Structure 1
Amino acid sequence: MAEPAATGKVSKRSTQKHCLLYLAAMLLSLSAITVVLVLMSQLGSFDGELWSRWSRRHPTRPRAVTTLPEMPEDDRQMAARLFRYLSRPSGAACRRLLRFGGTPSLKLHGMVLNLEGGEMACLDPEFALTGLDCLVYSLRAGGDSSLEAALERYGCSVHSFDAAATEAEAADGPGTIHQAALTEHVTLDELRTSLGHLHEPIAFLSVTAPGAEELVLCRPEALRRVQQLALRLSFSEALSDEARAFALFRRRYGQLLRLQELGFRPFAFEQLDSHGAVNMTVPGLAEPLTSVMEVVFLNAGERAQPTLATSALTLRGLRS
């Protein structure tokens, strides 16, 4: 009668051992993935000279773009076209994407590891953020600053505008933080003029402050010299009333049509589950979307022009 008891103990110990080994393997895997995500979030600091070599050795091909058709009169059809345009940018619009910034985050729904914060940028040669022309503006309201820190490490001149920033925050950076903001009475051109940047191209403009997207989109002519535009779009406040929601959708549709006329095309899209986001069902789309999203656009009419700095980088890359 002793043998079954002994066998039972051995079996129990064996099961416990396997469980411990499984947990150890899971922890090692999570640690390895976290390290990879941290490294990914730091990639914005890699050397511009290496990128110049890569760009020279890999010539560009004609790019496909996602276009927004004329606005239909039917509200449901209009909403479907709008969100299909925003959520399905052409993968060929930009061939070399890189996320700048972001903080590794573990979400327990399905054990998903991802990066929260930061923005996608296009590093195709005609839009590469290299040389002295890499001027970055960020219209923000506190929160994550990993995007600005990564772009500064990459070699860009970064200017953030945050009216709520304290003196200590403004002094610490990253980049230069200005205690100012875009308002109905202060335009983007006025902010640029105050810093002597009115006639300089903006390589990357990030718009994440609440309400700033409306102020930027209602004056699209100020975006002519912007090469890449990252917009955080929020539709949360209008969802409680269908008529109000369709009115906001139609206003955004018209603003994006004007943006398209200037040469802007979407190349990256991301749904956010923070900043007051809720799930919304859009007529004509099979899957629901979150009411807060970030879309990044390229301005095909405002491409990076080679300067002495970028030419020097390229020459050194060719000689080595």
Structure 2
Amino acid sequence: MVPLNKLVFSRLRRVCSLKRLQSVVATLILFTVLSQIPNENELKSRKIRYDDSIESNTGIENHHSNAFSRGNLSWLVSPEDFFGRLEGGHGRTPCRKLKSMGGQPCNRVVDGHKQLCLDTDVHINPRNCTVYSFGVSTEITFDRAMAKYGCEVHMMDPTLPPGVYKNLGPKMKFHPVGLYSKSKIVAMNLTQYADWQGMINSTLMTYSEVQQLLGHHAPVDYLKMDIENSEWVVLPHMMARNQLAGIKQIAVEIHIDSSKFSKPEVTEYLRGRWSILEGLEEHGFRAAHYEPTRSLESEYKIPGTNRTIFTCGELFLVNKHHKDSNYHNL
């Protein structure tokens, strides 16, 4: 068996967040179960992808040809195509009033902030709102900002020592659970904390199980995910069960494994991931903002060139409830 410290070291090169080492542990918990992430062919069978017959809206910018229409991924061949498309979508935002919530400087870069859309059609009522925040580690400035905004914030992370976040205030609650496509308990040895070391049982739950745990039956207003590559398992699971319905805004940190870029199946791998993002559009969500995580851990230098891409970033989406079903920016 590979020692835990070696697994941590090998994974550090691909972890995209600038958070402290605690955030790496979330990756280790799910390291053995990520083989269930669907590829492009599996996504077709689950009907998450768009039908090739759907045409793109002629009102979108001129560079959107049929090659960019939903379901047709012939344009997507390389990592540059994937991230170039994500980063090039800012001018087509469906949100006119974006507000950054939380964040703090880390290595001269602001980290931990998320976007909030204040437009009336997706407005979150500060007098009656609920936030699920999956994957918090030690960075909770966003959670505090949303609580200050007026929301009830449920923070969740299965990788923290017992007793963390006991005194948070009336609007913030911490739950030591993680989000996944099936319930699972994973034993983990915490060694990197100065004031606590030992074994813990990390609990992973499905979204519906989390709601049952909290006694919630209505959709939340804001869903935040920073679950270290498990978003590619969780999002299809939730979409297949229509569990995104009613959620107004989603912030998800997406992670792409750069170790696959040199392999023959890289195109299939990237198209499978992109199909999941298109599935979000099928469920009414539109990408309002994307911000690459500019860290050394996520930096990837394209071989044979002087170009660099960042292999993860913060994707923010708002639910337009299919009011403009022809609009797309993914």
CA distance in 2, matches of 1:207, 1:166: 20
* Aligned with 2:253 (options 232, 250, 259): 232
1:152 lines up with 2:147 in the alignment: yes
Quote the Cα distance in structure 2 between the aligned partners of 1:273 and 1:302. Answer: 33
- Contact kept? 2:156, 2:176, Cα under 8 Å: yes
Counterpart code for 2:230 = A
Return the letter of the residue paired with 1:194.
L
Structure 2 CA distance, aligned partners of 1:75 and 1:90? 19
Deviation of 1:292 after TM superposition, in Å, equals 1.4
Shift of 1:118: 1.1
Distance in 2, matches of 1:133 and 1:182, equals: 24
Which structure has more helix as a fraction of its residues?
A: 1
Q: How does 1:247-262 map to 2 (within 5 A)?
A: 247-262=268-283
Would you say the 8 A contact 2:73–2:271 is kept in 1?
no
Task: Please give the alpha-carbon distance, in whole angstroms, between the structure 2 residues aligned to 1:72 and 1:155.
Answer: 41
**2:42 aligned residue:** none
Contact 1:279-1:288 within 8 A present in 2 as well? yes
The 5-angstrom pairing of residues 178-189 of structure 1 reads: 178-185=175-182, 186-189=205-208
- Aligned to 1:158, the other structure's residue is in SS state strand
Please name the residue that 1:293 is paired with: 313
Equivalent pairs counted in the alignment come to: 232
Gaps of 5+ in 2: 1-58, 183-204, 324-330
The residue identity in structure 1 corresponding to 2:118 is: L
TM-score by length of 1: 0.63
Match of residue 120, structure 2, among 121, 125, 133: 125
Q: CA deviation at 1:101?
A: 0.4
Change (3 A) 1:130 1:75: closer
Where structure 1 has 5 or more consecutive residues not aligned to the other structure, the ranges are 1-62, 108-113, 304-320
Q: Give the letter aligned to residue 293 of structure 1.
A: G
1:101 touches 1:117 (CA, 8 Å); kept in 2?
A: yes
Output the CA distance in 2 between the equivalents of 1:297 and 1:68.
19
Distance in 2, Cα, partners of 1:288 & 1:250: 20
1:171 corresponds to which of 159, 166, 186: 166
How much has 1:281 moved relative to structure 2?
A: 4.3
Tell me, in whole angstroms, the C-alpha distance in 1 between the residues paired with 2:87 and 2:139: 23
Pair 116,196 (structure 1): closer, same or farther in 2 beyond 3 Å: same
CA distance in 2, matches of 1:165, 1:106: 23
Contact 1:280/1:291 (CA < 8 Å) preserved in 2?
no
Contact 2:180 2:234 in 1 (8 A): no
1:105-130: CA deviation from partner (whole Å, max 9, x where unpaired): 563xxxxxx52221111111222232
Give the TM-score normalised by the residue count of structure 2: 0.61
> What's the counterpart of residue 97 of structure 1?
98
Q: Choose from 262, 265, 277 the match for 1:241.
A: 262
| Percent of paired sites with the same residue | 22
Instruction: Give the strand-richer structure, 1 or 2.
Output: 2
Structure 1 counterpart of 2:176, one-letter code: Q
Pick 1 or 2: higher relative contact order, CA cutoff 8 A, min separation 6.
2
In the superposition, relative to structure 1, how do residues 246 and 172 fare at CA in structure 2: closer, same or farther (>3 Å)? Answer: farther
Is the 1:140–1:160 Cα contact (8 Å) retained in structure 2? yes
Q: Which residue is equivalent to 1:215? A: 233
Give the CA RMSD over aligned residues: 3.2
Pair 280,70 (structure 1): closer, same or farther in 2 beyond 3 Å: farther
Match of 2:53 in 1: none
> 1:261-317, CA deviations, whole angstroms, 9 ceiling, x for partnerless residues?
1111111111113383122549xxx964201111101111189xxxxxxxxxxxxxx
Shift of the 291–168 alpha-carbon distance from structure 1 to 2, 3 Å rule, reads same
